[in-house]
Structure 1
């Protein structure tokens, strides 16, 4: 199996894109066959632990879908394309790719992401007080053509308030390279109660009103609740 280069991480024409910044994020999805689930997760754990030691890695976490034990996600951040290229030459990464040739029900899906509300990399390492109580979710939005700028501006406004909530650990919204209508939100909260409180905020309610107007499908179909593995 080969991997996909990010090519460039600059997304032109999207308000708040990272411009000339070379760092980028990735969301990688694995759908494993039942008989390979444990072996794949073991290799992914090793990949994450070793990747965190690499100079070019800013962040790497492994998650499992709450409603499907055979679906895993890697959320990664890299300093630049060279750092990612070096990562794919590591033996522990090659071991994952080799297993994926036979262990997956579909090819692994890679989304290259640009932060629309970038913050200092030091905040990427922020952890919840109790990982066992934390609530994580990934939301993949498909936005109607012509509504992208409106969607982005509303999210940029919401992000500054969401990040200041006492229960917020992470709140990152991204544009997806080569998919101008697709956006990815990653959130981490101290608890389900903190997330519920977030849903009650006026800026969040304004977002949900926007969703009804600009999304291709109901927002409930976009939500992916995930469990942190390592």
Structure 2
């Protein structure tokens, strides 16, 4: 199986977006120290002052799932839960030739 890429679409109150970007930057740095994390990038969009897209690439699905069980990941969600405009949307990507592996 090839790497797994996960997209997160986050809509947060505009006045809290920079705080979330700062917190995500810390999580990205910590994630980058994990053995199976290949990339962790944070993007803003040109269409909204409330939206962010987080793109994570992991060597394996198991590496991603292990990452999600770490305390700092849950703490991030807890900290900003009341500032979200809608639930975070997660999309797991893989090559079409490997669709059965999802």
Structure 2 gap ranges (5+)? 97-102
Superposed, which structure 2 residues align to 1:107-118 within 5 Å? none
1:150 aligns with 2:37: no
Structure 1 gap ranges (5+)? 1-131
Higher relative contact order (CA 8 A, sep 6+): 2
| Residue in 2 that maps onto 1:185 | 54
| Residue in 2 that maps onto 1:45 | none
1:199 aligns with 2:68: yes
Post-superposition, which runs of at least 4 consecutive aligned residues in structure 1 deviate over 2 A?
none
- The offset of 1:145, in angstroms, is 2.8
TM-score by length of 2: 0.83
| Residue in 2 that maps onto 1:227 | 94
| CA RMSD, 1 decimal | 1.8
Output the CA distance in 2 between the equivalents of 1:201 and 1:152: 19
How far does the alpha carbon of each residue in 1:118-165 deviate from its partner, in whole angstroms, 9 at most, with x for none?
A: xxxxxxxxxxxxxx1422111111112311121111111111101110
TM-score by length of 1: 0.39
Output the CA distance in 2 between the equivalents of 1:186 and 1:228: 16
Aligned length: 97
Output the CA distance in 2 between the equivalents of 1:195 and 1:176: 25
Partner SS state of residue 50, structure 2: strand
Kept in 2: contact 1:211–1:218 (CA 8 A): no
Superposed, which structure 2 residues align to 1:211-226 within 5 Å? 211-219=80-88, 222-226=89-93
- The offset of 1:182, in angstroms, is 0.8
Rg larger in 1 or in 2? 1
